[in-house]
Amino acid sequence: MQAYSRIPCVSGKILLFFDEIQECPNVLKYLRYFKEELPLMHVIATGSLLEFSLEKKII
């Protein structure tokens, strides 16, 4: 992300916002990465159909 945006990614100073994550199933593994490897990184993930997608095993 830092290479793409050219903005230093400093834990506790950056907020990552993922919207409609049910559209991108791979995002879930990245959320786990942020939780385990960058616990101070602020992350918000939303999805209007996320609960439905999880129930149907779409993601």
pLDDT for the residue numbered 51: 64
Q: Where are the domains of the chain?
A: 2-55
pLDDT for the residue numbered 47: 78
Query: How far is residue 26's CA from residue 24's CA, in Å, rounded to a whole number?
Result: 6
pLDDT digits (tens, 9 = 90+) for 24-58: 878 878 888 888 988 888 999 887 765 655 666 65
Let me know: does 46 contact 18? Beta carbons within 8 Å. Answer: yes
Query: Side chain identity at 6, as an amino acid letter?
Result: R
DSSP string, 26-59: THHHHHHHHHHH-TTSEEEE--TTHHHHHHTT--
Model pTM greater than 0.75? no
Query: How far is residue 18's CA from residue 44's CA, in Å, rounded to a whole number?
Result: 6
